[in-house]
């Protein structure tokens, strides 16, 4: 069974603060750090961002999430994709690419540097679709990237069971869990089912509903994995 790697999501207003938080996450035992570039304040140059975070690339997941997908990037889609391309040139461990973006921009996706692994992600902020639909989503994600990430919102405890089936079906390739208070259990159980990555936060700095701290997730991983 694949050992789940912990990935701490960090966001900040400035590149220097983002780098500081990334260093803290790794010092607390995180295996990877998700750099939420979309949470930086406007008016910051990409060169400044690159200079601040370059040293973390071997253990970084680069994410530039649009507002439509629950992120903070407010520019055009063309500028967002251009930024992802530039950041991919630094050869991070993973580049997070939304399934919708990959579908709509196949030429762009094909132009990304070879050797940069993609996490093809899909989020539902309103609920949890039936298993058959979620299964089709992760299968498409795996055709377009190294890993598929399927994130739903738990409206009932049973939603966790639906989403965790995805991890069980493709251990080592699919990260799937539910957001929200009702979904916390899925974040933990996914580690026992072979999810390649489990997301955590810095203490008291969750960037998604239901995230647990990296220290808590590290302890729970020992218990369930």
Q: Cβ(58)–Cβ(26) under 8 Å?
A: no
What confidence score (pLDDT) does residue 1 get?
58
The mean pLDDT of the chain is 95
Catalytic residue among 123, 139, 143, 222: 123
Is residue 149 annotated as part of the catalytic site, yes or no?
yes
Q: What is the pLDDT of residue 209?
A: 87
Long-range contacts (CB closer than 8 Å, 24 or more residues apart) made by 108-114? 108/81, 109/144, 111/85, 112/84, 112/85, 112/88, 113/88, 113/89
Active-site residue (options: 21, 129, 149, 218): 149
User: Which of 206, 200, 210 lies closest to 28 in space, CA to CA?
Assistant: 200
Distance CA 167, CA 51 (A): 36
Q: pTM for the complete prediction?
A: 0.95
pLDDT score at 43: 77
| CA separation for the pair 141, 149 (Å, rounded) | 8
Report the 10 Å Cβ neighbour count for 13. Answer: 12
3-state secondary structure of 31: coil
Query: Going residue by residue through the chain (225 aa), what tens digit of pLDDT does each one get?
Result: 569 999 999 999 999 999 999 999 999 999 999 999 999 988 788 999 999 999 999 999 999 999 888 899 988 999 999 999 999 999 999 999 999 999 999 999 999 998 899 999 999 999 999 999 999 999 999 999 999 999 999 999 999 999 999 999 999 999 999 999 999 999 999 999 999 999 999 999 988 889 999 999 999 999 997
Please state, in angstroms and rounded to a whole number, the distance separating the CA atoms of residues 184 and 200.
11
Q: What are the residue boundaries of the structural domains of the chain, listed by start?
A: 5-224
Quick one: pLDDT at residue 208? Answer: 86
Res 191: pLDDT: 98
pLDDT digits (tens, 9 = 90+) for 114-145: 889 999 999 999 999 999 999 999 999 999 99
Our answer to whether residue 143 is catalytic in this structure is no
5-224 has which fold? TIM Barrel (3.20.20)
| 163-225-208-99 Cα dihedral, nearest 10 degrees | -50
């Amino acid at each position: 069974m694949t050992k789940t790697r912990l990935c701490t999501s960090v966001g900040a207003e400035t590149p220097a603060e983002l780098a500081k938080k990334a260093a803290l996450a790794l010092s607390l035992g995180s295996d990877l750090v998700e750099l939420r570039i979309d949470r930086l304040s406007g008016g910051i140059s990409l060169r400044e961002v690159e200079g601040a975070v370059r040293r973390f690339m071997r253990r970084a997941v680069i994410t530039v999430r649009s507002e439509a997908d629950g992120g903070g990037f407010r520019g055009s889609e063309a500028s967002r994709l251009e930024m992802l391309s530039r950041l991919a040139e630094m050869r991070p461990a993973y580049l997070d690419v939304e399934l919708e973006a990959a579908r709509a921009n196949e030429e762009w996706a094909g132009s990304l540097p070879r050797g940069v692994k993609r996490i093809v992600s899909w989020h539902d902020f309103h609920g949890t679709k039936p298993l058959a639909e979620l299964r089709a989503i992760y299968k498409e994600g795996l055709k377009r990237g190294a890993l598929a990430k399927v994130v739903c919102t738990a409206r009932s405890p049973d939603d966790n069971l639906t989403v965790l089936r995805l991890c069980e079906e493709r251990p080592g390739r699919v990260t799937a869990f539910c957001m929200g208070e009702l979904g916390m259990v899925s974040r933990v159980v996914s580690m026992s089912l072979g999810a390649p990555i489990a997301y955590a936060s810095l203490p008291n700095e969750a960037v998604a509903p239901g995230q647990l701290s990296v220290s808590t997730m590290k302890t729970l991983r020992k218990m369930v994995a």
